[in-house]
Amino acid sequence: MAGPAVPAGPRNLRVVSLVPSLTEAVALTGPGLLVGATDWCVRPEGLDVVRVGGTKNPDIAAVVELRPDLVVANEEENRESDLAALRAVGIEVLVTEVRDLDQAFAELERLLVTGCGLAVPRWLDEARDAWAAVAVSPPYGGGRRAVVPIWRRPWMVLGRDTFAGDLLARLGVHNVYGDHEERYPRVPLEELRASGADLVVLPDEPYRFTADDGPEAFPGLPAALVDGRFLTWYGPSLAEAPGALRAALR
């Protein structure tokens, strides 16, 4: 997927991000480029930009009013109809697609270097090094079999071809539903309990699983509560993710 042309160099670039992890990536790599972000863009702390609504329901008029040179989006997190509306008024939209770690690294470099005209940041090199060290280590946890819910009421889990599933696999955790025909299948709780898993991994996003909300549904099964930023975000958090996930999966 070809990246957009870089308008007038990074100093003059006005960027709106509709993806929390990409907001963090742009804000830390090119301070001053971001002029707008979603209400869910909570990193880096203290980010002072115009808020333009949610990832699924951005205020298109508010985005247009900011006169961005580039809007950053993701094919999974954002709706094509919203992106088409921005393109229709002449705004450049860079859409990332991230299904595994290698693709995340490539898309981050495309965004920052091709899209924003920046140099490859140190944190991206550090993230590559951190995960390369994992790749040459013995599989973590002895190849445990896990179910990974992302929602309840109804229960939904990680299925095939997901970024989070790839990170877990690199840490030696096998996703029981990793070969499911759907990426985020709905699975009845009774089936999850009978799946043969010996671990349930409970991230705190998109559903906020906590010690009091989630583990009780899987009696007798060890539960790993993980920070969703380290499991589902592709950005500066990737450098810390291997250590943080290892600690949570113990």
Q: What is the pLDDT of residues 57-85, one digit of tens each?
A: 999 999 999 999 999 999 999 999 999 99
Could you tell me which of 167, 184, 232 has the C-alpha nearest to residue 24? Answer: 232
Given a contact cutoff of 8 angstroms between Cβ atoms, the answer to whether 97 and 75 are in contact is yes
Q: Per-residue pLDDT tens for 24-61? A: 999 999 999 999 999 999 999 999 999 999 999 999 99
The whole-angstrom separation of Cα 6 and Cα 32 is 16
The whole-angstrom separation of Cα 248 and Cα 250 is 6
Maximum Cα interatomic distance, the chain, rounded to a whole number of Å: 59
pLDDT at 12: 79
∠ CA(64), CA(72), CA(186), 5° rounding? 110
The whole-angstrom separation of Cα 52 and Cα 144 is 41
Structure tokens at 117: 């005209």
Structure tokens at 69: 């040179």
pLDDT at 231: 97
| Paired residues of 213 in beta bridges | 210
Burial 195-233 (b: 16+ CB within 10 A, else e): bebbbbbbbbbebebeeeebbebbeebebbebbbbbbbb
Domains of the chain: 10-120 (3.40.50.1980), 139-249 (3.40.50.1980)
> Identity (one letter) of the amino acid at 132?
A
Given a contact cutoff of 8 angstroms between Cβ atoms, the answer to whether 23 and 35 are in contact is no
Q: Per-residue pLDDT tens for 97-142? A: 999 999 999 999 999 999 999 999 999 999 999 999 986 544 444 5
The whole-angstrom separation of Cα 149 and Cα 159 is 10
Could you tell me which of 65, 55, 66, 51 has the C-alpha nearest to residue 13? Answer: 66
The whole-angstrom separation of Cα 146 and Cα 167 is 13
pLDDT at 215: 98
- Percent of the chain past pLDDT 70, that is, above it, reads 92
Mean pLDDT of the chain: 92
